[in-house]
Amino acid sequence: MSRTLTIAFDGKRAANNKTGLGNYSRHIINLLAKFFPDNRYIVFLPKNGKNPQFQAILGENRNIEVVTPTSRFWKKFSSLWRVFGIRNEISAFQDIIYHGLSNELPLTIKKTPAKSVVTIHDLIFLRFPQYYKFLDRKIYSYKFRKSCQNADQIIAVSECTKRDIVEFFGIEPDKISVIYQGCDKVFKSESDSDTMQNVKRKYNLPDRFLLNVGSIEERKNALLIVKTLPILTEKLPLVIIGKRTKYTSKIEKAANDLGVSGLLHILDKVPFEDLAPIYRLSEVFIYPSRYEGFGIPIIEAINCGVPVIAATGSCLEEAGGPDCQYVNPDDGNALALAIERTTDKPENQDYRRNSIAKSKEYVKRFSEEKQAELLMDCYIGLENNASS
C-alpha cells in the first residue's frame, strides 16, 4: 500500500447490536485494524454504545478513533444525525473513505468529499415481502436503493445478494464486488472439555441433539425440523437457539400436536461466548432457511466440526460448499433422509468425517486474511480512481 488511508465506518450496529449486523460490523472494523494497522480508522457513532465486544476492540486497537455528535441538537436527535447531520463530521477529514457496514449510507454522503462504500447483506424484504411490515419494506427499499445509487462501490456478501441488487435496483454489476463474510475466530479454536461440560450443564443439554441457530422467525423455517422429528428412526432432541418471536409459539404448538414437545429445547439470550461450545456439543447442524443473504451460522458450525444440512433456493450452497447436504425447504421427507445419513451412527462415520474435513477446507476461503485483503483492494481502487 503506497500511503496511509483514512477509513471511516458507520458504527451504530457495531456498538449496539449483539448479533447479525453488529457481529459483521465489529468483525470488519477489528480485522482491518489488525491486518492493516498503519491506516487511520474512524468509527462514527450516534451515541457511545456499551457492547462489550465493541469496547474490547477499541481497547485492543489504538488506531481506531470514535466520533460522536458535537452539537446539542444532534446529540438529542442522534438517530437522525447518522442520516443527515453527519455530513459536517465526515467533511472534516481529508481523503476519507466512508464505509456503510449495514446496508445504508448517509443521505448527504454526496455532499461530502468522501469516497463511499456500502455493504448490502440481503434484499429479502423485496424477495419475500410477506415476511415484513409494509412500512418497513418501504423504508428499507428507499434507504438501500439510495445507498446503492450514491455509493462509489457496493459490497455484496454473496453472489446471490449481488444478483438481487442488479435485479431489484438496476445497478450495473461492475459496481458490485462480492466479498464473503467470515466468522469470529472463536469458532475456529477448540473448546476445552471443562468449558464444554459447564455449558452443557448450564443449559441442561441432552447428550445428543440436533441444532438450529438463528432468529426464530417464519423465513428461517425451523418448523420444518420439528415436523421431521416424529419420522426419524432415532428420536433425537432438537435445540433451537434464537430470539423468541410469535413464530416460536407456532413451533411449540406443532411440537405439542406432534407429540415431540419433550424433544424440543428453545434457548433464548444465549451469550456469544457459549455459542461455540454448543455447536461442538451438537451432532448435526440444520439450517432450513428459505432465503439468506449468506448464512454465517453454517460457517460457524463447519469450523466447529459439525456436519451441516441446509436448504436450497438462495445462497446457502455458497456458504457451505459441495460437501454439506441441501434439501428443499418444504420437503420434510428429504430432510429426514439427510438427518438419518448424518447422525453419529457407525454406518455414518465415513460420511461424517469426509463431510466435516472437506467442508472445513472449503470455508478456508472465508478467512479473515482473505476478507481483509479484498476490502483493502476495494478501498485502494477507490483512492486510485480519485487521484487519476
Count Cα neighbours of 195 within 13 Å in the Cβ-side half-sphere. Answer: 12
Q: Cβ atoms within 10 A of the Cβ of 37, count?
A: 11
How far is CA 179 from each of CA 23, 172, 298, 342, 370, rounded to the nearest angstrom? 16, 17, 17, 30, 9
What does DSSP say about strands 238-241 and 308-311: parallel, antiparallel, or unpaired? unpaired
d(CA 56, CA 50): 10
pLDDT for 191: 84
d(CA 261, CA 267): 14
Q: Cβ atoms within 10 A of the Cβ of 125, count?
A: 19
pLDDT for 2: 53
pLDDT for 361: 97
Joined grid coordinates for residue 40: 487511520
pLDDT for 28: 94
Tell me which residues of the chain have a pLDDT lower than 70: 1-2, 386-388
By C-alpha distance, which of 269, 273, 157 is closest to 216?
Answer: 269
Equal CATH topology for 6-182+367-387 and 185-364: yes
Count Cα neighbours of 320 within 13 Å in the Cβ-side half-sphere. Answer: 30
Handedness of CA 271, 273, 279, 282 (dihedral sign): negative
Helix (H, G, I), strand (E, B) or coil at 223: helix
By C-alpha distance, which of 147, 117, 124, 119 is closest to 315?
Answer: 124
Cβ–Cβ under 8 Å, residues 191 and 277: yes
Q: Which CATH number fits domain 185-364: 3.20.10.10, 3.40.50.300, 3.30.930.10, 3.40.50.2000?
A: 3.40.50.2000
Q: Judge: domain 6-182+367-387, CATH 1.10.490.10.
A: no
Domain ranges of the chain: 6-182+367-387, 185-364
